Amino acid sequence: MSTTTLEPSIETHVHYLNVSYGIKSWLLTTDHKRIGLLYLASITLMFFVGGSAAVLMRLHLIEPQGGLVEPETYNKLFTMHGIIMVFFFLIPSIPATLGNFLVPMMLGARDLAFPRLNLMSWYLYMIGAIFTLSAIAAGGVDTGWTLYPPYSSAYSHTHVIMAALGIFIAGFSSILTGFNFIVTIHKMRAPGLTWFRLPLFIWAHYATSVIQILGTPVVAVTIALLALERLFHIGLFDPNVGGDPILFQHLFWFYSHPAVYIMILPGMGVMSELITCFSRKRVFGYSFIAFSSVAIAVLSFLVWGHHMFVTGQSVYAGLVFSALSFMVAIPSAIKVFNWMATLYKGSISYDAPMLYALGFVGLFTMGGVTGLFLSSLAVDVHVHDTYFVIAHFHYIMVGGAVMAYLGGIHFWWPKITGRMYPDGWARFAALVIFVGFNLTFFPQYMLGYLGMPRRYAVYPAEFQVLNVMSSAGASILGIGYLIPLIYLTWSMRYGKVAGPNPWKAKGLEWTTPSPPPTENFEETPVVTEEAYNYSAVGEEA
Amino acid sequence: MAEHQAQSAVMDPLAHQFDDLQQQHEASNFGMWIFLATEVMFFGGMFAGYTIYRHEYFTAFAAGSHLLNWKFGATNTAVLICSSLTMALAVHAAQTGKRKALVTFLILTILLGMAFLGIKFTFEWSRDWNENLIPGELIAGHPFAPQGEILKQLQEAHAGLPQVELFMFFYFALTGFHALHMVVGIGLLTVLTVMAWQGRFSPERFNPVEGSGLYWHFVDIVWIFLFPLLYLIGGIS
Amino acid sequence: MAGHVVPQKVYFVIFALLIGLTGLTTWVATLDMPSPWNTVVALAIAIFKASLVILFFMHVKYSSNLTRAAVVAGFFWLAILLVFTLSDILTRQWIPQSTGWTTTIESPH
Amino acid sequence: MWSGFPLRPDQASTIAEGFDHLFYFETAVAIFFATFIFGTIFYFAIKYRRRSDDERPPEIEGSLALELTWTLIPSALCAIMFFWASSLYFTNSRPPTRALEVFVIGKQWMWHLQHAEGPREINELHVPVGRPVKLTMTSEDVIHDFFIPAFRVKHDVVPGQYHSIWFEATKTGKYHFFCAQYCGAQHSGMIGWVYVMSEVDYEQWLTGGAKNESMAASGADLYQKLACITCHGTGRAPAFNGIYGKPVKLTDGQTVTADDAYIRESILNPSAKIVEGYTPIMPTFKGQVSEEELLQLIAFIKSLGTEPQKP
Ligand code: HEA
Ligand code: HEA
Ligand code: CUA
Ligand SMILES: [Cu+2]
């Protein structure tokens, strides 16, 4: 990236990309924008690694007997897919790239509060990723991303400890990001930027950070205990000496349920930015959206037991967790309806980011309402650990979070690089992804209801038709993801010069040149109006 | 530009992202508190496990607790409280700009911290090692295998050995992580002492002293819970 | 800038209290109280001691609400973890156990 | 072709239909919201498309009435789903009395099943139509999960713990059961068939084939062989008659119910809970009895009924 020669028109001002050159200037940078890009590159790599595993899985599942690999290998594939996608792609995706880039800019600050910790966070991420990737290279891990003992602690013969170490380290990188955001949002807002003038992107990241700092330590210590158990046969989760394997599940989901909101809340933040900008309207129900983010963050810690309805958890605890799971759905519903209402009487354009945004709203809804099936006790008994669950979370994580991520990348791409991407291609890719996605994952709902268990390398023949459909969809989806990779890379060099505010968007980040200078703003901005004041758009133009 | 930044970092205690010292101070203080909240949750995971097993195997946990010597536990509690006092006084000295007092109190704190670790290692853990009370195969070739008097004591208490082993695991995990925090703390304080000696702190700028103080007190608080929860289960005689 | 400077006397008083309370916990542990009370008292004292350290040594008594919120959040989340985990463990036994199995050594009917 | 493309799993147990009604209701809610939201988005997107670049839409801040509407309606729907699903779940989590008992042991990667009457099966389960069947399940190694889609029942099979599910089949036929909790290499091979037979066929199946002692009888043999009788027949230890399912007073003042899990613990870890009035002299039998033998011992103790008598 540092060697990219930039066209004169961008060269005219000094910005964070051309202020210094060379590998060292990147690897030792403390500029939040450059760190965001370091993350962007590494996360994209991890996405394609995880995605390749998914492609192999889908190819394998075309035939009931499993056409491609041995069951042992298949097990390693979904484990590596799950671990990489969750811990190394989706959790850091929006916060560590777009969040890193934008949080200080949206606040009118020069950088995050602790720039060196921010860089350290990226290094921790990389070390974690290297551990996990070497676990894979050394032969893989086959425990599932949930790492349930006693299988993971006593029976699996694979490289559990190395992978666990990777997750442990990556956990601290996530904590550091959240930590930095919270302090920055509290202490470094520009003059006049009161809480209720903040962009909703910031509220979403604030809620996310709360989860990161309070949840992640628990999974870190849990995974450390698991590793100790495996190494030294302590017996903590081993029923033979009175240990309780279900305790692990409690500790694991105490983090991992809130973690799913780490994955979706930032996406919701992106949504609020995109929908307002491309319908040129102030967001409908600002404070409801803002507070629903906080409500989700708090409630998310009270529902983890819904992953354990049939594991031997007390039925009474199940009852409480079920009720609370329904409650956590309400704030999400509020958000969806408020976005819809924002579109009403807007001035809606179909730029690529908006296409992703509209896709998000619909697909997230579908994933969300099927989450309600799962929080219904009796229904979960049947669909737990079937493809219904797989479909549920891919609808939210791929249909929701990844769509939001792509939407956000396209939206802020001109700000990040100073150049536009080819618009036609972008819209085309959005469409391909939408179609491929539905074809991949809708059949999985049906498979799940019919009773096909997840993590099956071999399955009864009656499930084949739906599996073939799903595999076909996955290849469309995979191609859909390749297109942006190509044209975005291309546009870094050949794209049209974008100018400071190609979308006529509101928000402090659009008031500074693209790409922004290292210090973000020539002088600290003073904020005098509320967010999304789109009625003023015409005047500037 | 970068050079300018690097330069200003040395000359000027104000980092470039902050507007003024006040903001920088507040950010670092608040950051420390947030960090401590994550620490609470870190220990919290272990406490949750502890609580559950203590509830399920109370007899064994009480018997295991009786294998520990509460006198060392109590002494160490007192030592840590003393060190918290000296730490608080060190911060006070920094606030009021008394360089000598600051250095003295920091050194005292370090010495007390080392005393704590010394007692832990020499009187407690080494005995556990000699009596084969180290759980699991934490140390190769040295499995958990209580013998002689201790074994009899456990049998008389009708405690299942595997459950006592669980207790010992929590004992080592919790005190071990605690000791690790102490070691880190001592390292931090050593750096601070040198800096204080060089006169790098002033009533305008003592964030590092304050932050390390908070950390040190937190470690003390953890021990305040560990003492009754590990040493005093089921009463002492 | 230097924040609130707490008089040294306060530190010494708190210190004395803490040492006294340590003695108290130890003494209480020698008493033979009915089942949960030993634990309850020990924990109550520990919480009190921790509060003293937090409020005075750590200056929370003199700090902003933001700092207090961070403290409360830490412990509140810890409580969530403990309470909800226990809600499972403590109620598992409540499951109505079927006692109705009547099959005897000979086969049914 | 479409026979290979069913839209609904077989409904073959008494609870399947009730379950499906709830499932359809939730599907209707899901479809309603999905269509409503996709529909509205498309409608707005077309109706309010940007017609010129300096268009200025009206300002709309928000509306409390609307916020309340879309908070309360979903909440109400959630409440309905919650109560409906929970009541189904609770009814289904209590096995009816007089259920046939089958004991299930999962191990990597097969299912061992034994009927109380004696017959053993591997990866197959024969049950009569129209009678409640209760499965008591445990694992020898890792966590497995017993899942019969056609009956809409599933539960994890956890080492060291007993969990049970029950069902009453309503249609004769052959149905899949699966291991639904990931358990290692051959997880997907840990599947089998439930054969639901008419009452008559089932009787025949029970009596035909290899003769097996009932589980309780095997347990009685073990009781002799493992010399439990040297204490439990003599007064040095409590007699087993009539203890099953009854409360037991312990030395520490607590009372526990003598259920499967308690008996299991008493045999494997006798010192954990001491019966009032006895000294803890019982040795542990851990490592000497398998999960299967444990279940047989339990069956034996159960079979002694609830009336005290000399065995
Ligand atoms: C980003 C990730 C993400 C998100 C946001 C969610 C959101 C939700 N999830 Fe999901 N979930 C996962 C990722 C996610 N989940 C993963 C990865 C797993 C599997 C883990 C594993 O086992 O490997 C899982 C599993 C899972 C289970 C366990 C299933 C099982 O294993 O048996 C349950 C059970 O309750 C559940 C419920 C929910 C609910 C109620 C929501 C809610 O928050 C959804 C709220 C959203 C809406 C409701 C949509 C918007 C609402 C409307 C448009 C209005 C209509 C609404 C009403 C009528 C209320 N999820
Ligand atoms: C962020 C999270 C995330 C994301 C983005 C994805 C993305 C995808 N997932 Fe994943 N998935 C999980 C999280 C995620 N998944 C988790 C947590 C599990 C549970 C694991 C467990 O059970 O432990 C899981 C499990 C899981 C399963 C179930 C496995 C099983 O239980 O047996 C399947 C099966 O179809 C699947 C498929 C897919 C597909 C097709 C995609 C696609 O969206 C991927 C698309 C990406 C690409 C295709 C790569 C890019 C393109 C190329 C490399 C070009 C070459 C390819 C072609 C030309 C086709 N996933
Ligand atoms: Cu057994 Cu999966
Ligand atoms: Cu969840």
Q: Between β-strands D124-128 and D192-197, what pairing exists: parallel, antiparallel or unpaired? A: parallel
Q: Mutate which of A58, A398, A488 to test ligand 2's pocket (most atoms within 8 Å of Cβ)?
A: A398
In a domain? residue A20: no
Rounded to whole angstroms, the Cα distance separating B123 from B118 reads 8
Rounded to whole angstroms, the Cα distance separating A207 from D281 reads 57
In a domain? residue B2: no
In a domain? residue B94: yes
Yes or no, beta carbons of C97 and D259 under 8 Å apart: yes
Rounded to whole angstroms, the Cα distance separating A302 from D169 reads 37
Which structural domain range is residue B205 located in? 35-231
In a domain? residue A257: yes
Whether chain A has a CB inside 8 Å of the CB on C91: the answer is yes
Query: Rounded mean pLDDT of chain A?
Result: 92
Give the nearest chain A residue to B24 (CA atoms): A113
Instruction: Give the number of A-D residue pairs with CB atoms closer than 8 Å.
Output: 275
A420: DSSP letter:
P
* B230 to B68, B174, D243: CA distances (angstroms): 8, 9, 37
DSSP H/E element including D145: strand D144-148
In a domain? residue B51: yes
Q: Are B213 and B185 in contact (CB under 8 A)?
A: no
The total number of structural domains that make up chain A? 1
- Two tokens, residue D4: 């290979």
**According to the model, what pLDDT value does residue A59 have?**
95
Phi, psi of B120 (to 5 degrees): -55, -50
Rounded to whole angstroms, the Cα distance separating A86 from A129 reads 12
**According to the model, what pLDDT value does residue A451 have?**
93
Give residue ranges of D with CB < 8 Å to any C CB: 93-101, 116-118, 134, 164, 206, 214, 216-217, 220, 244-245, 253, 257, 259-260, 302-303, 305
Is A55 close to ligand 2, i.e. is its CB under 6 Å away? Answer: yes
- Two tokens, residue D202: 């089932």
**According to the model, what pLDDT value does residue C3 have?**
64
Residue D271 has pLDDT above 80, yes or no: no
In a domain? residue B24: no
**Edge-to-edge order in the sheet of strand D110-115:** D120-122, D110-115, D100-107, D132-139, D163-168
* A331 to A338, D68, D135: CA distances (angstroms): 11, 12, 40
Residue C76 has pLDDT above 90, yes or no: yes
The total number of structural domains that make up chain B? 1
Which structural domain range is residue A312 located in? 33-532
Between these two residues, A125 and D120, which has the higher pLDDT value? A125
Among protein residues, the one with the nearest Cα to ligand 2's atom 53 is A52
Q: Are A267 and A400 in contact (CB under 8 A)?
A: yes
Q: Are D196 and D127 in contact (CB under 8 A)?
A: yes
Phi, psi of C82 (to 5 degrees): -70, -50
- Which region holds residue D305: left if phi is over 0, alpha if psi is between -120 and 50, else beta? left
Q: How far is the CA of B46 from the centre of ligand 3 (A)?
A: 29
**According to the model, what pLDDT value does residue D5 have?**
67
Whether chain A has a CB inside 8 Å of the CB on B131: the answer is no
| Tokens 């109190």 found at | B105
| Tokens 């924008």 found at | A33
Rounded to whole angstroms, the Cα distance separating A404 from A418 reads 21
Give the nearest chain A residue to B31 (CA atoms): A183
pLDDT in tens, D152-211: 999 999 998 888 899 999 999 999 999 999 999 999 999 999 999 999 999 888 887 666
Residue B233 has pLDDT above 50, yes or no: yes
* D207 to A5, B141, D129, D220: CA distances (angstroms): 86, 54, 17, 21
**According to the model, what pLDDT value does residue B150 have?**
83
SS (H, E, C) A65-84: CCCCCCHHHHHHHHHHHHHH
Of A286, A326, A379, which has the smallest distance from its Cβ to D62's Cβ?
A: A286
The complex's ipTM works out to 0.90
Residue B164 has pLDDT above 70, yes or no: yes
**According to the model, what pLDDT value does residue A177 have?**
96
Q: Are A71 and D182 in contact (CB under 8 A)?
A: no
Q: Are A216 and A177 in contact (CB under 8 A)?
A: no
Yes or no, beta carbons of B217 and C53 under 8 Å apart: yes
ω into A191 cis (within 30 of 0):
no
Q: Between β-strands D132-139 and D100-107, what pairing exists: parallel, antiparallel or unpaired? A: parallel
DSSP H/E element including D241: none
Which stretches in chain A have pLDDT values below 50?
A: 1-10, 538-541
User: CATH number of the domain that B54 lies in?
Assistant: 1.20.120.80
pLDDT in tens, D71-101: 999 999 999 999 999 999 988 887 787 889 8
- Report the atom number in ligand 2 closest to the C-alpha of A145: 23
Of B231-235, C1-5, D153-157, D209-213, the least confident: C1-5
Q: Are A172 and B42 in contact (CB under 8 A)?
A: no
- 3 state SS of C4: coil
pLDDT in tens, D273-311: 788 888 778 888 877 888 888 888 888 888 886 554 443
Residue D120 has pLDDT above 70, yes or no: yes
Of A182, A242, A250, which has the smallest distance from its Cβ to B163's Cβ?
A: A242
Over pLDDT 70: what percentage of chain D?
A: 95
Q: Mutate which of A320, A372, A376 to test ligand 1's pocket (most atoms within 8 Å of Cβ)?
A: A372
D168: DSSP letter:
E
Which neighbouring-strand residues pair with D145?
D156
Q: How far is the CA of D307 from the centre of ligand 2 (A)?
A: 59
pLDDT band at B3 (very low <50, low <70, confident <90, very high): very low
Between these two residues, A382 and D231, which has the higher pLDDT value? A382
Q: How far is the CA of A381 from the centre of ligand 4 (A)?
A: 15
Is A44 close to ligand 2, i.e. is its CB under 6 Å away? Answer: no
Q: Cα C97 to chain center, whole Å? A: 33
Is A336 close to ligand 1, i.e. is its CB under 6 Å away? Answer: yes
How many angstroms away from the CA of C1 is the closest CA of chain A?
16
Give the nearest chain B residue to A229 (CA atoms): B136
pLDDT in tens, D10-40: 899 999 999 999 999 999 999 999 999 999 9
Rounded to whole angstroms, the Cα distance separating B189 from B110 reads 7
The burial class, CB within 10 Å (0-12 / 13-18 / 19+), for D16 is buried
Average pLDDT over residues D242-254: 79
Rounded to whole angstroms, the Cα distance separating A135 from A170 reads 14
Name the H helices within B58-133: 58-67, 70-95, 99-119, 126-130
Q: Give every CB contact of residue D234 below 8 A, 6+ residues apart in sequence.
A: none
Q: Mutate which of A55, A437, A482 to test ligand 2's pocket (most atoms within 8 Å of Cβ)?
A: A55
3-state helix, strand, coil in chain B (%, to 5): 80, 0, 20
Rounded to whole angstroms, the Cα distance separating C10 from B225 reads 23
Q: Give every CB contact of residue A200 below 8 A, 6+ residues apart in sequence.
A: A269, A272, A273, A283, A286, A289, A290, A293, A531
**According to the model, what pLDDT value does residue B214 have?**
95
Name the H helices within D140-290: 199-207, 215-225, 229-232, 260-268
Yes or no, beta carbons of A378 and D22 under 8 Å apart: yes
Rounded to whole angstroms, the Cα distance separating A96 from A343 reads 29
ω into D308 cis (within 30 of 0):
no
Question: In sequence order, what E strands does A16-113 have?
Answer: none
Q: Are B64 and B168 in contact (CB under 8 A)?
A: yes
The burial class, CB within 10 Å (0-12 / 13-18 / 19+), for C32 is exposed
In a domain? residue A13: no
**According to the model, what pLDDT value does residue C94 have?**
67
Q: Which residues of D44-71 are buried (b: 16+ CB within 10 A; e: fewer)?
A: bbeebebeeeebebeebebeeeebeebb
The set of chains that have 3 or more CB pairs under 8 A with B is: A, C, D
- Two tokens, residue C16: 């004395």
| Tokens 């950070």 found at | A209
pLDDT in tens, B99-158: 999 999 999 999 999 999 999 988 888 888 878 788 877 666 777 888 888 888 888 777
In a domain? residue A329: yes
CA D273-D275-D277 angle, to 5 degrees, is 140
**According to the model, what pLDDT value does residue A536 have?**
65
pLDDT band at C37 (very low <50, low <70, confident <90, very high): confident
DSSP H/E element including A454: none
User: CATH number of the domain that A389 lies in?
Assistant: 1.20.210.10
**According to the model, what pLDDT value does residue B1 have?**
38
DSSP calls for D247-295: EEEBTTS-EEE--HHHHHHHHHSGGGS-BTT----PPP-TTTS-HHHHH
Q: How far is the CA of A304 from the centre of ligand 4 (A)?
A: 6
Phi, psi of D121 (to 5 degrees): -140, 155
Residue A308: closest CA among A369, A357, A245, A264: A245
The single-letter code of the amino acid at A539 is E
Of C39, C43, C71, which has the smallest distance from its Cβ to B33's Cβ?
A: C71
The single-letter code of the amino acid at D159 is P
